[in-house]
Chain A
Amino acid sequence: MSVARIFKVENRLAKVARSPGGKTVEEAVRGAEQRIESVREQCIAALATKADQLAVLSAGDRGAGAQDTMKGLYNISNAIFGVACVYELDALAEAACSLCDLLHGFRNGETINWSAVDVHVDGIRLLATGRSEGALSVLAGLRKVRARFVSAQS
């Protein structure tokens, strides 16, 4: 039988955080929101670059290296999701999350449907570059594609 050791450790975070001074929780949260807002422009500008990287990668190896291609696509779309949702770019965040859902299923042994991936990549590029006035229709299309594959995967 394995031996588990259970013990208490000093909470060094509490020791520092409870020392005199600092900010009220309200000030700290407000300060953080302002700092995040201050980098909004640069982070949103980088989304278009990430979307272009998606397009380049998805046009790459779809044969023997398909798993690596999908891993790269997953990482980039996950990064797009992470930034888009912070800045409330809801349509882009949903599209990126949808691509992650698809790729997650395909990486788990499902037959890869590259058309479904391509349509997501195109949609994400449109939304990331702000060139899509019809964000809702783009999203509606992606939802249909996602529903078809994700329900089949589950």
Chain B
Amino acid sequence: MSTVPFRRQERVNLSTAEVLIVGGDADGLEILAQMFAGFGVHTPRRCAAGAEAMTVVGERDLNLVVVDSQLADTDGYDFISWLRRCGSPNAWAPAILVTGHTTSSQIFRGRDAGASFVVRKPVLPLVMMQRIIWLLSDPRAFVTSPGYCGPDRRVRSIGPPVGMKGRRHDDLSVEVGEAKTPNLEQDEIDALFQPKAISR
């Protein structure tokens, strides 16, 4: 078995999780469905077409959506984009986009459609489980705007554009203000990198 980069005894209980798997290729869909069954999901819902998956989104409270980039009637990007704007609580369900042949433009397209993660094939169980574990503690807020709906795409906080004051309460200022405390001496900085035992 592959080496698991997690705590060996970490537990996940996906037995009652509502997982929707959407993919246009029957064999690819079968592989993903088997993977989630192996993870312990009792009834992974599988759909080949986006239209069919839209019906499921309207009927079930989903915990996770896994979408292949190729569907029978549309593509995974459009489906995720629709999901994020569908108006039901499922709009905020974590969505993993699975891609085969992958160009960088497709990764950006997946991100901008609102995917929580884009995973390139081969999607091994270990990789999928790693993404699920990450999603369990995903700190990202959700964003809705006319141009984008989905998890916050900002991975770096670089402040508002130059010349703008910012429009969100959590924007950082571009200006670096005056220091509020004295500069550290080099030996004080070095000490921060040399942990010492603390006497109790």
Number of interface residues of A (CB under 8 A): 53
In angstroms, Cα B161 to Cα A1, docked, is: 14
* Known contacts A39-B34, A83-B28: A16-B17 contact under CB 8 Å: yes
In angstroms, Cα B15 to Cα A21, docked, is: 9
Nearest 4 pairs of A and B residues by beta carbon: A22-B13, A32-B38, A100-B101, A32-B125
Q: Are B135 and A13 in contact (CB under 8 A)?
A: yes
- A 56-87 binary contact with B (CB < 8 Å = 1; else 0): 00000000000000000011011101110110
Task: Tell me the smallest distance from the CB of A36 to a CB of chain B, in Å.
Answer: 5
* Known contacts A16-B17, A43-B30, A46-B27: A24-B9 contact under CB 8 Å: yes
Q: Are A78 and B101 in contact (CB under 8 A)?
A: yes
Residues of A at the B interface (CB closer than 8 Å) are 1-9, 11-14, 16-26, 28-36, 38-39, 42-43, 46, 74-75, 77-79, 81-83, 85-86, 93, 97, 100-101, 104
* Known contacts A13-B17, A14-B136, A86-B31: A1-B167 contact under CB 8 Å: yes
Q: Are B142 and A6 in contact (CB under 8 A)?
A: yes
Q: Which B residues are CB-close (under 8 A) to A5? A: 143-145
Task: Tell me the smallest distance from the CB of A14 to a CB of chain B, in Å.
Answer: 4
Q: Are B70 and A39 in contact (CB under 8 A)?
A: no
Q: Are A31 and B135 in contact (CB under 8 A)?
A: no
- Consensus secondary structure, chain A interface: helix
* Known contacts A35-B38, A36-B125: A22-B11 contact under CB 8 Å: yes
Q: Are B121 and A86 in contact (CB under 8 A)?
A: yes
A-B contact pairs, 7 of them (CB 8 A): A8-B141, A14-B135, A24-B11, A25-B12, A33-B1, A97-B101, A104-B103
Task: Tell me the smallest distance from the CB of A75 to a CB of chain B, in Å.
Answer: 6
In angstroms, Cα B138 to Cα A128, docked, is: 40
* Known contacts A13-B64, A36-B31: A25-B142 contact under CB 8 Å: no
Q: Which A residues are CB-close (under 8 A) to B31? A: 36, 39, 43, 82-83, 86
- Residues 66 to 122 of chain B near chain A (Cβ within 8 Å): 68, 70, 92-94, 100-101, 103, 121-122
In angstroms, Cα B121 to Cα A103, docked, is: 18
- Would you call B126 an interface residue if the criterion is a C-beta within 8 Å of the partner chain's C-beta atoms? yes
What would 11 more interface pairs be, CB under 8 Å, given A5-B145, A29-B129? A5-B143, A6-B143, A13-B63, A18-B136, A23-B39, A26-B1, A30-B1, A32-B39, A35-B34, A77-B101, A82-B122
Q: Are A25 and B4 in contact (CB under 8 A)?
A: yes
Q: Are A85 and B121 in contact (CB under 8 A)?
A: yes
In angstroms, Cα B128 to Cα A142, docked, is: 31
In angstroms, Cα B147 to Cα A123, docked, is: 43
Q: Are A28 and B92 in contact (CB under 8 A)?
A: no
In angstroms, Cα B160 to Cα A12, docked, is: 32
* Known contacts A4-B143, A4-B144, A12-B63: A79-B11 contact under CB 8 Å: no
In angstroms, Cα B14 to Cα A29, docked, is: 12
- Taking a contact as CB atoms closer than 8 A, the residue among B40, B101, B122 that contacts A104 in the complex is B101
In angstroms, Cα B150 to Cα A5, docked, is: 11
